[in-house]
Amino acid sequence: MISVIDQPGPVDIESEEMGDDRTILSAIAAKGHTARVILPASISAEDQRNVADLEQHGVRVRLMPKSPIYMHAKAEISGDEAFIGSENYSVSSLNIIPPRKYT
């Protein structure tokens, strides 16, 4: 995901939530006005704070209406790369935890 955001030129991001992964949020903020983000209007209070921070860095954020639209898919499009999937920009979603072994 970071490699897509870090591509030269603009990046377009669509997500269900902004998440709490500081590395990704910093990469988006570093893109400034060349980053465009679309989120649902129903984002959490934490996401609202993260959006405000991104906007202070020049990131263009748009909120979609609360209904009848619901989106779960995530997409990043930039340069010659893209990501389409379902991972959230949260530490818990992006960290891979090895499966437990039961005896």
Question: What's the pLDDT tens digit per position in 18-55?
Answer: 888 899 999 999 999 999 999 988 889 999 999 999 99
Question: What's the pLDDT tens digit per position in 45-100?
Answer: 999 999 999 999 999 999 987 766 666 677 777 878 777 777 776 666 666 555 55
pTM of the model: 0.76
Task: Give the three-state DSSP class for 64.
Answer: strand
Please say whether the beta carbons of 53 and 29 come within 8 A: yes
